């Protein structure tokens, strides 16, 4: 999903703040809340979901450390619920900026993205467990102001993967809170979204060329359970906890990602041969109910996938 494509309900535009702060920008981000039926698997099954902009996850917001996000949330007329926006990249007042917005109303607030990393955003309206597990979450990437370096190299490909919950449509807020009526794990909004091995209806996989550095921006949007993020047949070359270049770990097998947390994880496939990885939540309950993503490393990899802002397939 390209930032430039955010025109359906969402508009992101950039404006220079002034010559004094040439690097820092004001980034305008608008989102609408849409309550609708959303397809949650590759077979076309629909569930009653609540969304930012009509998709699960919502649009990827990408700014640079030091930028100011100038944000508007429109809760569309005709929606039944109040909704809100909680950017984990913001340092503000929970009783002010993150307050709920009633249907037909709009709320604006600004914040400076002070820390680099990969952060979740989500709805915090009551009951939060229902709003998040019906799909109200997304990712904001804050690129470090220093840019790339030997310690934080530029990747060849970038993909965003968000793991979320799927509950029975009629699960109540308290059932969701207790993880009752849990049905499966969503990867970017669908069970087995990129896994034709476990789901014959799946039509997409992530791709790279042999030897490329593939960077995964991973966020766990499940409401109760951690994710055990592991690249089957590979080792994470480097992992940056919270996506901050200062928090580096080397040669990791499985990364524990708490609910509402994110990591950047880099994978480098063998050079000179084709190979495949399965990026899984190694908790079997999650993996076998939807949280498996196939990454194919092959010489004829699609040149567009994971490049030029194509972060979400
Ligand atoms: Cu909400």
What digits encode the pLDDT tens for the residues 111-128? 999 999 999 999 999 999
Domain boundary among 97, 113, 143: 143
193 has binding-site annotation: no
Mean pLDDT confidence for 259-288: 98
261 has binding-site annotation: no
Please, what is the end-to-end C-alpha distance for the chain in angstroms? 7
One domain, residues 216 and 276: yes
| Structure confidence at residue 5 (pLDDT) | 41
Residue 98 CA, ligand 1 centroid: distance in Å: 11
Residues in a beta bridge with 307? none
One domain, residues 42 and 161: no
**Structural domain contains residue 265:** yes
One domain, residues 139 and 192: no
**Structural domain contains residue 77:** yes
**Structural domain contains residue 40:** yes
**Structural domain contains residue 36:** yes
**Structural domain contains residue 313:** no
Domain boundary among 111, 143, 175: 143
Residue 284 CA, ligand 1 centroid: distance in Å: 29
One domain, residues 172 and 264: yes
**Structural domain contains residue 303:** no
- What is the Cα 55 distance to its own chain's centre? 11
- Per-residue model confidence as pLDDT tens digits over 193-217: 999 999 999 999 999 999 999 999 9
**Structural domain contains residue 150:** no
| Structure confidence at residue 23 (pLDDT) | 76
Rounded-to-10 torsion of CA 279, 280, 281, 286? 140
Domain boundary among 143, 177, 208: 143
pTM: 0.92
One domain, residues 116 and 11: yes
One domain, residues 136 and 18: yes
- Per-residue model confidence as pLDDT tens digits over 75-111: 999 999 999 999 999 999 999 999 999 999 999 999 9
**Structural domain contains residue 306:** no
Q: What is the DSSP letter of 67?
A: P
d(CA 166, CA 151): 37
d(CA 58, CA 30): 11
One domain, residues 33 and 61: yes
Residue 168 CA, ligand 1 centroid: distance in Å: 18
**Domain range enclosing 223:** 157-297
One domain, residues 161 and 293: yes
Number of structural domains the chain divides into: 2
- 3-class SS at 163? strand
CB-neighbour burial class of residue 58 (10 A; exposed 0-12, middle 13-18, buried 19+): buried
Q: What distances in angstroms separate CA 95 from CA 61, 85, 204, one per listed residue? A: 23, 12, 42
- Per-residue model confidence as pLDDT tens digits over 242-271: 999 999 999 999 999 999 999 999 999 999
Pull the structure tokens for residue 148: 């790339």
CATH number of 232's domain: 2.60.40.420
136 has binding-site annotation: yes
One domain, residues 139 and 265: no
Residue 228 CA, ligand 1 centroid: distance in Å: 27
One domain, residues 14 and 51: yes
88 has binding-site annotation: yes
Residue 159 CA, ligand 1 centroid: distance in Å: 26
Residue 194 CA, ligand 1 centroid: distance in Å: 27
230 has binding-site annotation: no
One domain, residues 113 and 186: no
Specify the higher pLDDT residue, 7 or 102.
102
Query: In whole angstroms, how large is the CA radius of gyration of the chain?
Result: 19
Pull the structure tokens for residue 123: 């709805």
d(CA 221, CA 234): 24
One domain, residues 8 and 139: yes
- 3-class SS at 159? strand
């Amino acid at each position: 999903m390209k930032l430039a494509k955010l025109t359906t309900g969402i508009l992101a535009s950039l404006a220079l703040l002034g010559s004094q702060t040439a690097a820092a920008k004001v980034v305008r981000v608008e989102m609408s809340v849409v309550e609708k039926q959303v397809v949650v698997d590759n077979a076309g099954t629909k569930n009653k979901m609540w969304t930012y902009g009509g998709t699960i996850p919502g649009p990827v917001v990408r700014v640079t450390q030091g930028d100011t996000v100038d944000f508007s949330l429109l809760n569309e007329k005709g929606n039944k619920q109040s909704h809100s926006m909680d950017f984990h990249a913001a340092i503000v007042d929970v009783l002010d900026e993150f307050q709920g917005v009633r249907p037909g109303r709009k709320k604006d607030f600004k914040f400076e993205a002070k820390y680099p990393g990969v952060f979740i955003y989500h709805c915090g309206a009551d009951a939060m467990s229902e709003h998040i597990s019906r799909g109200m979450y997304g990712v904001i990437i804050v690129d470090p102001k220093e840019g790339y370096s030997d310690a934080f190299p530029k990747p060849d490909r970038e993909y965003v993967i968000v793991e979320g919950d799927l509950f029975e449509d009629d699960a109540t807020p308290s059932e969701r809170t207790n993880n009752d009526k849990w049905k499966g794990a969503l990867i970017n909004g669908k069970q087995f979204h990129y896994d034709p091995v476990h789901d014959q209806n799946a039509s997409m996989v992530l791709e790279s060329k042999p030897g490329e550095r593939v960077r995964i921006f991973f966020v766990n949007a499940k409401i109760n359970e951690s994710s055990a993020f592991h690249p089957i047949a590979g080792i994470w070359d480097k992992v940056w906890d919270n996506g901050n270049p200062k928090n580096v770990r080397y040669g990791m097998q499985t990364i524990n990602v708490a609910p509402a947390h994110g990591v950047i994880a880099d994978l480098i496939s063998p050079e000179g041969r084709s190979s495949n990885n399965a990026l899984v939540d190694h908790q079997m309950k999650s993996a076998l109910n939807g949280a498996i993503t196939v990454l194919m490393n092959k010489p004829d990899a699609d040149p567009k996938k994971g490049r030029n802002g194509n972060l979400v397939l």
